[in-house]
Amino acid sequence: MTTDSPMTDEAVRETGVEVKPVAGHIGAEISGVDLAADLDDTVVAAIRAAVLRWKVVFFRGQRLDHAGHVAFARRFGETVVLPRRGKASPADFPEIETTADRLELGGRFGMEHDEWLRRRRHTLLRGWHCDHGARVDPPAATILRAETVPPYGGDTSWSNLAAAYAGLSAPLRQFADGLRAEHRLGVGYQPRPGDDAYVRHLLDRQVASLHPLVRVHPETGERILYVNGYYVEQIAGLSRPESAAVLEMLLEQAVRPEYTVRFRWEPGSVAFWDNRATMHLAPGDTGHLDHPRIMHRVMLAGDVPVGVDGRASEPITGTAPGRW
Residue pair 235/247 in contact (Cβ under 8 Å)? The answer is yes
CB 51 within 8 A of CB 29: no
**CA-CA distance, 187 to 228, in Å (whole number)?**
11
Q: Nearest Cα to 178, choosing from 305, 313, 309, 315? A: 309
- Report in angstroms the alpha-carbon separations of 86 from 24, 89, 226: 37, 6, 29
Handedness of CA 160, 248, 168, 178 (dihedral sign): negative
Q: Which of 25, 129, 180, 184 is catalytic?
A: 129
Is the distance from CB of 271 to CB of 58 less than 8 angstroms? yes
Mention every residue, 6+ apart, whose C-beta is less than 8 A from residue 195. none
CA atoms lying within 13 Å on the CB side of residue 203: 6
Strands 260-263 and 156-160: antiparallel
Annotation marks residue 132 as catalytic: no
H/E stretch holding 115: helix 113-120
CA distance 210 to 276: 15
CB–CB of 275/224 below 8 Å? no
Catalytic residue among 25, 48, 69, 131: 131
280, 293, 296, 303: which one is catalytic?
280
Q: Among positive and negative, which fits the CA dihedral 240, 210, 271, 107?
A: negative
21 φψ region: left (φ > 0), alpha (ψ -120 to 50), beta (else):
beta
CB of 139 closer than 8 Å to CB of 299: yes
The question of whether 290 is a catalytic residue gets the answer: no
Query: Is 291 annotated in the active site?
Result: no
Is 192 considered catalytic here?
no
What distance in Å separates the CA atoms of residue 296 and residue 92, rounded to the nearest whole number?
A: 14
List the catalytic residue out of 276, 296, 297, 303. 297
Residues with a catalytic annotation lie at: 129, 131, 280, 297
